[in-house]
Amino acid sequence: MEEIIIHGGHRLEGTVMIDGAKNAILPIMAASLLATSGVTEIEDVPILADVFTMTSVLESLAAQVGFDQTQQKLQIDASGSLTHEAPFELVSQMRASIIVLGPLLARLGVAKVAMPGGCAIGSRPIDLHLKGLRQLGARITQNGGYIEARATKLIGADIYLDFPSVGATENIMLAATLAEGTTFIENAAREPEIVDLAIMLSEMGAHISGAGTETIKIVGVKSLHGTSHQVVQDRIEAGTMMVAAAITHGKVLIKNAIGHHNRPLISKLTEMGVTITERDDGILVEGPTHLRPVNVKTLPHPGFPTDLQPQMTVAQLMADGVSVMNETVFENRFMHMNELRRMNADFEIEGNTLLLHGKADLRGAQVEATDLRAAAALVLAGLVAEGETRVGQLQYLDRGYYLLHQKLSRLGADIRRSDVDENGEERPILNAL
């Protein structure tokens, strides 16, 4: 089994580059299905398991996809005729595949996508996706574990989202680009990845305004064409590195990091005593010898991102005193805490509220990831734990981080990734995928 093996206690110092955002590239790849002419070229593509899965989904729909990993470039040609069914075995691997529903429906008038399952962090319903598509005129049925959507023509509508769902906002936005008339999405998600998707769609010829605010306006057009687009930097990877610098009393420059994409984290780390300097070339993070406790509540953007919650709980454990973490977005996102308890963390969970007792005397242990951001949190805990930490189930980590161990090693961490057999024999792994 592959493991990341860490010996804690090393201060991080130096400069780290951040890849393109996982949560931007996936909807952007789905958007390429809307181009009936030309080729879509995407740069700064992160080399992640989810990108390979989405590539397979697009190819199963008969799009032509070329992924130049050394250049981190994707070329997608969807100008030919597409099929309309996304297969179960791919959607079950990655629930985000549901994002092809909107573009297929808009382009072909029909779409059949396997119903995505839940995952470790929650049941992950898609009722808001379907509500929006129905309001655009789609007839949607569910049978045999598949969602079938049909529409002779999509008509613009005023759609209110009960919750500012990222996926629902994206699916509706994608479908509305080719609808007849104007669509308003009220209480829309405001994440930077929504803005990046809207920029790409506008480059393809769509008429979109208001992305990044709670109201997005889309005026339908007849067709969209290919374009070239550079993926926005991954604010969650950048935030993960900021926490790594903060807890190791380090001094790390997060190259080209965008301050306003991580305003909540920067504010909270500053409250804890971390020195954060926003410069032209990125964000410099200097961790103090002592961290102050801080209370955090996750919220949709521009609130504190749920995708940085597990990582932040490690910083709170390292603070001198009691901190509170309140997770309001997902119903089961404290799974990493069971593993942190095995590293001697002391905390109580009351529903979606976590009471964390710092300063923790974390001890290295064999731990297992349960989901993507939990995996990152366990690696961070290993950086500051006494002794050796071994993190397993790295398939979760590979969904959202590329060569995290290498990036941390270059900053001074004692960390490696190895394939460990039943006798404990190690074979070093240099490349994760």
Stretch that binds ligand EPZ, among 35-43, 61-69, 127-135, 265-273 (CB under 6 A): 127-135
Nearer to ligand EPZ, 22 or 268 (CB): 22
Looking at residue 401, its amino acid is Y
Binding of residue 269 to ligand EPZ (CB under 6 A) = no
* Binds ligand EPZ by CB under 6 A, chosen from 4, 5, 12, 26: 26
Q: How far is the CB of 60 from ligand EPZ (least distance, A)?
A: 18
Binding of residue 136 to ligand EPZ (CB under 6 A) = no
Residues sharing a CB contact under 8 Å with residue 250, sequence separation 6 or more, in sequence order = 11, 12, 13, 244, 285, 286, 287, 411, 412
Binding of residue 196 to ligand EPZ (CB under 6 A) = no
Binding of residue 339 to ligand EPZ (CB under 6 A) = no
Q: Which two tokens stand for residue 277?
A: 């300097």
Assess whether 232 carries a catalytic annotation. Answer: no
Binding of residue 138 to ligand EPZ (CB under 6 A) = no
Nearer to ligand EPZ, 103 or 400 (CB): 400
Residues sharing a CB contact under 8 Å with residue 119, sequence separation 6 or more, in sequence order = 95, 371
Residue count of the chain:
433
* Binds ligand EPZ by CB under 6 A, chosen from 30, 42, 166, 265: 166
Integer Cα distance of 315 and 243 in angstroms: 7
Stretch that binds ligand EPZ, among 165-173, 277-285, 315-323, 358-366 (CB under 6 A): 165-173
- Long-range contacts of 274-278, Cβ-Cβ distance < 8 Å, separation of 24 or more: 274/242, 274/245, 274/246, 276/242
Q: How far is the CB of 93 from ligand EPZ (least distance, A)?
A: 13
Binding of residue 128 to ligand EPZ (CB under 6 A) = yes
Nearer to ligand EPZ, 123 or 223 (CB): 123
* Binds ligand EPZ by CB under 6 A, chosen from 330, 334, 396, 401: 330
Note the Cα 176 to chain centre separation in Å.
24
Binding of residue 124 to ligand EPZ (CB under 6 A) = yes
* Catalytic residue from among 108, 119, 299, 324: 119
The dihedral built from the CA positions of residue 258, 263, 269 and 271, taken in this order, carries a sign that is positive
Residue 126 and residue 163 in contact, taking contact as beta carbons nearer than 8 Å: no
Integer Cα distance of 371 and 406 in angstroms: 20
Nearer to ligand EPZ, 16 or 51 (CB): 51
Q: How many residues sit in the footprint of ligand EPZ (CB under 6 A)? A: 24
* Binds ligand EPZ by CB under 6 A, chosen from 9, 109, 122, 273: 122
Nearest one of 403, 357, 411 to 383, comparing CA atoms: 411
Tally Cβ neighbours within 10 Å of residue 183: 25
Binding of residue 264 to ligand EPZ (CB under 6 A) = no
* Binds ligand EPZ by CB under 6 A, chosen from 84, 107, 129, 417: 129
Residue numbers 38-97 binding ligand EPZ by CB under 6 A: 96
Q: How far is the CB of 279 from ligand EPZ (least distance, A)?
A: 27
Q: Which two tokens stand for residue 399?
A: 């969904």
Q: How far is the CB of 402 from ligand EPZ (least distance, A)?
A: 14
Binding mask 285-314 for ligand EPZ (x = CB under 6 A): ---------------------xx-------
Q: How far is the CB of 370 from ligand EPZ (least distance, A)?
A: 12
Nearer to ligand EPZ, 25 or 345 (CB): 25
Residue numbers 340-379 binding ligand EPZ by CB under 6 A: 372-373
Nearer to ligand EPZ, 21 or 365 (CB): 21
First to last CA, the chain: 14
Binding of residue 216 to ligand EPZ (CB under 6 A) = no
Question: Could you list the residues that contact ligand EPZ (CB under 6 A)?
Answer: 22-23, 26, 96, 122, 124-129, 163, 165-168, 189, 306-307, 329-330, 372-373, 400
Catalogue the active-site residues: 119
